[in-house]
Amino acid sequence: MAVVAFVVFLLLYLTPGDPAAILAGDAATSDDIRRIREKLGLDEPFLVRFGGWVAQLVRGDLGTSIFTNLPVAHLIAQRVEPTLSLTLCTLLVSVLVAVPLGVIAAARAGTWIDRLVMGFSVLGFSLPVFVLAYILILTFSIQLDWLPVQGYRPLREGLWEWARHLILPSTALGTVYIALIARITRASMLDALAQDYVRTAQAKGLAPSEVLVGHALKNAAVPIVTVIGIGIALLIGGAIVTETVFAIPGIGRLTVDSILRRDYPIIQGVVLMFSFAYVLINLAVDLSYMLLDPRIRY
């Protein structure tokens, strides 16, 4: 987290563009811009600015937005629900779809089912999120008029309205994730199915479903859980694009707007928050290894 904080602050410091000039407007003079820079502390040396920001972080303060003059933590809290809803829905649907697909492809290795699943995986992993998003909007929103084009409805306004506005974004964002998990699941299952304990279980006359789930999938779970945790980075990056395309007022949309306006405190706060979430998720994945494989101990 310390490295992320330093790198993010350094990159924004080196990035072209002056938030003071954007804040001052097109009719501002150089003196106006200079006064705004002095007021915001943008004229101070790098180490002084970085030190002041770190001092704020230690106190739990992510800073104040340059343009809205509101606390960054407050702005992020306002946008958490849409992003959390999109991410959790995508994660849940992706795992429930991808793992069975990978298991089926491994169980039917070399057949048309296997080739179909792997073809879908290659296509899904190769297709950009925004391209798939526009295809879904054109098909299901404009031509068929089944689902809304854009926007978000909070859960308190009704479960169906909330779900209707998340179906297309979750599908667009989850396709890449499904493709990744399905490929890894298939590879791990093929390795597990080639082990001696699987052949022993089959020789004992156990049902094929019990062999697949109770023996092979259980022992192939560590790589699958690992890629699920690593794939969270895909969701974080894809959420920014997805929220922009579907006009979802989440943290991803807040990030894009802040980048366009050079609102450095918000960008720094959002990146730190995403990094912290990613670190915690990977820690949880590492700890889950002990439950999946008794041989692993920390």
**DSSP secondary structure, the chain, as one string:** -HHHHHHHHHHHHHSS--HHHHHH-TT--HHHHHHHHHHHTTTS-HHHHHHHHHHHHHTT---B-TTT-SBHHHHHHHHHHHHHHHHHHHHHHHHHHHHHHHHHHHHTTTSHHHHHHHHHHHHHHHS-HHHHHHHHIIIIIIIS--S-SS----GGG-HHHHHHHHHHHHHHHHHHHHHHHHHHHHHHHHHHHTSHHHHHHHHTT--HHHIIIIIIIHHTHHHHHHHHHHTHHHHHHHHHHHHHHTT--SHHHHHHHHHHHT-HHHHHHHHHHHHHHHHHHHHHHHHHHHHH-TT---
- Every domain of the chain with CATH number 1.10.3720.10 lies at 81-292
Taking all residues of the chain, what is their mean pLDDT, rounded to a whole number? 82
Q: What is the largest CA-CA distance in the chain?
A: 85
pLDDT confidence tier of residue 28, bands split at 50, 70 and 90? low
pLDDT confidence tier of residue 298, bands split at 50, 70 and 90? low
Q: How many Cβ atoms are within 10 Å of 102's Cβ, its own excluded?
A: 27
Comparing 180-194, 195-209, 230-244, 252-266, the range with the smallest average pLDDT is 195-209
Its CATH architecture, for the domain 81-292, is Orthogonal Bundle (1.10)
**pLDDT of the residue at 237:** 74
Evaluate if residue 208 carries a pLDDT over 80.
Answer: no
Q: What is the pTM of this model?
A: 0.79
